[in-house]
């Protein structure tokens, strides 16, 4: 009898955790499903990729994956925290005619275009596993405090709802400071659950666009997935962004496996001055949703991008490769393919025409 009581208590506690932990975001309703059903990407139950996308994550592969997880773990994170350069307000507000950006590790970028400040995937939190028993700690420290240093934000853009891109702690600090949220279809329900007014949020299906303060912004396809809990896998969309003004063009790939959509985006909107390309957290088992670095370089070429900025690395140990492997493989391939790159330090302001090309990671262990 005691065993049954304990088991029932554990089941109740687990169900309460699933239903009331704010980390999971907003629950999907019938009204949401009716809205999603208008998308060509919705198959009646979930969103799907344009290309068949499967991962080698069967029960048979689990022993091998667990073994890999506990092999050479010390190489997946730097020995010491990666420093973040302090925000230079004077430099940021100089020469507003030239685009600028600051990369804060992983996929967090503050972009300035036509004098407007756009914050993309603002995951400044210290942990990408807030619902797990073990933390996945960030490579840099005190990053939530960066939000207090940032200039006025004109818009926040969100590519999808994974924990390494959409962070509750960051949204709590940002929600009162931003009036425009442009997000993938299905992500609004999370923001609304966390207190962002719905009239401030615009959701995007693939190829949807908007004119924002003189900037044309289009949500573009990627090959990935979504979900924050056990029951909402692929219940919101994922993608990238294209930014165009009369004088500049910028591409943000979003998380993605290799596919022909890079060529399609390049044909429709290229060439691009800058392309922020996912380059990290890959593995042969989930290769369908995360490119290898060599493929990331090819994605920049396929999309007709002049300068490639590798992102989605130097933030968290989300895969089994060493923390430097993404950038080392990317730089080697870029040299072979003659693809220009920009590799700023975390927190460094980059102005178009003055792109950073240093190899700062080589000085860290």
Per-residue confidence in pLDDT tens, the chain, 365 aa: 544 444 444 333 343 344 569 999 999 999 999 999 999 999 999 999 999 998 876 656 666 665 666 667 778 999 999 999 999 999 999 999 999 999 999 999 999 999 999 999 999 999 999 999 889 999 999 999 999 999 999 999 999 999 999 999 999 999 999 999 999 999 999 999 999 999 999 999 999 999 999 999 999 999 999 999 999 999 999 999 999 999 999 999 999 999 999 999 999 999 999 999 999 999 999 999 999 999 999 999 999 999 999 999 999 999 999 999 999 999 999 999 999 999 999 999 999 999 999 999 999 99
* CA triple 22-26-32, angle to 5 deg: 175
Q: Is residue 40 part of a domain?
A: no
φ/ψ (deg, to 5) at 220: -115, 160
* CATH code where residue 262 lies: 3.60.15.10
Residues 282 and 291 sit within 8 Å (Cβ to Cβ):
yes
287 contacts: CB under 8 Å, gap ≥ 6 = 257
Neighbours of 143 (CB within 10 A): 23
Strand extents, DSSP E, the chain: 100-103, 109-113, 116-120, 155-158, 181-184, 201-204, 209-212, 215-220, 240-244, 249-252, 272-278, 305-311, 340-341, 349-351
3-state class (DSSP) for residue 175: coil
Q: Is residue 3 part of a domain?
A: no
Distance between CA atoms of residues 292 and 276, nearest Å: 15
**Structural domain of 271:** 82-363
Q: Is residue 194 part of a domain?
A: yes
DSSP 8-state secondary structure symbol assigned to residue 255: S
For residue 31, give the H/E element and its range: helix 30-36
pLDDT of residue 73: 74
Q: Is residue 89 part of a domain?
A: yes
Instruction: Classify each residue of 80-116 as buried b or exposed e, where b means 16 or more C-beta atoms within 10 Å of its C-beta.
Output: eebebeebeeeebeeeeeebbbbbbbbbbbbbbbbeb
Q: Is residue 53 part of a domain?
A: no
pLDDT of residue 14: 40
Distance between CA atoms of residues 280 and 204, nearest Å: 25
pLDDT of residue 8: 41
Residues 220 and 242 sit within 8 Å (Cβ to Cβ):
yes
Tell me the pTM.
0.94
Cα-Cα-Cα-Cα dihedral sign, residues 228, 240, 50, 62? negative
Distance between CA atoms of residues 142 and 347, nearest Å: 13
Please tell me the total count of domains within the chain: 1
pLDDT of residue 69: 65
Tokens representing 312 are 């989605």
Residues 105 and 314 sit within 8 Å (Cβ to Cβ):
yes
**Bridge partners of residue 201, in order along the sequence:** 181
Q: Is residue 307 part of a domain?
A: yes
pLDDT of residue 332: 98
Q: Is residue 154 part of a domain?
A: yes
Neighbours of 54 (CB within 10 A): 9
φ/ψ (deg, to 5) at 215: -110, 125
Work out whether strand 155-158 and strand 116-120 pair parallel, antiparallel, or are unpaired.
parallel
Work out whether strand 155-158 and strand 181-184 pair parallel, antiparallel, or are unpaired.
parallel
Q: Is residue 39 part of a domain?
A: no
**Bridge partners of residue 310, in order along the sequence:** 277
Residues 348 and 85 sit within 8 Å (Cβ to Cβ):
yes
Residues 267 and 260 sit within 8 Å (Cβ to Cβ):
no
């Amino acid at each position: 009898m005691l065993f049954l009581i304990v088991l029932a208590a554990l089941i109740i506690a687990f169900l309460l955790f699933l239903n009331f932990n704010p980390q999971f975001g907003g629950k999907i309703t019938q009204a949401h499903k009716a809205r999603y059903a208008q998308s060509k990407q919705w198959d009646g139950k979930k969103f799907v990729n344009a290309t068949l996308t499967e991962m080698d994550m069967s029960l048979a592969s689990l022993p091998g994956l667990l073994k890999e997880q506990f092999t050479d773990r010390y190489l997946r994170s730097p020995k010491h925290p990666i420093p973040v350069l302090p925000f230079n307000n004077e430099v940021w507000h100089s020469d507003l005619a030239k685009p600028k950006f600051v990369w804060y590790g992983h996929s967090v970028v503050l972009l300035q275009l036509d004098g407007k400040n756009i914050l993309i995937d603002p995951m400044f939190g210290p942990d990408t596993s807030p619902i797990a028993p073990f933390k996945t700690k960030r490579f840099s420290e005190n990053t939530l405090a960066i939000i207090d240093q940032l200039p006025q934000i004109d818009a926040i853009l969100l590519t999808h709802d994974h924990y390494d891109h959409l962070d509750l702690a960051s949204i709590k600090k940002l929600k009162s400071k931003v009036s425009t949220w442009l997000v993938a279809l299905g992500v609004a329900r999370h923001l609304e659950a966390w207190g962002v007014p719905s009239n401030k949020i615009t959701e995007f299906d693939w190829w949807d666009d908007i004119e924002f303060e003189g900037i044309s912004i289009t949500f573009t396809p990627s090959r990935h997935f979504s979900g924050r809990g056990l029951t909402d896998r692929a219940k919101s969309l994922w993608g990238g962004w294209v930014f165009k003004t009369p004088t500049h063009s910028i591409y943000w790939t979003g998380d993605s496996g290799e596919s022909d959509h890079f060529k399609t985006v390049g044909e429709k909107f290229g060439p691009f001055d800058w392309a922020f390309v996912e380059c990290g957290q890959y593995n042969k088992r989930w290769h369908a949703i995360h490119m290898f670095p060599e493929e990331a370089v090819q994605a920049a070429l396929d999309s007709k991008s002049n300068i490639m900025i590798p992102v989605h690395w130097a933030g968290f140990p989300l895969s089994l490769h060493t923390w430097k492997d993404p950038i080392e493989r990317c730089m080697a391939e870029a040299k072979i393919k003659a693809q220009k790159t920009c590799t700023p330090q975390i927190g460094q302001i980059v102005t178009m025409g003055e792109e950073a090309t240093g190899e700062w990671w080589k000085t860290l262990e």
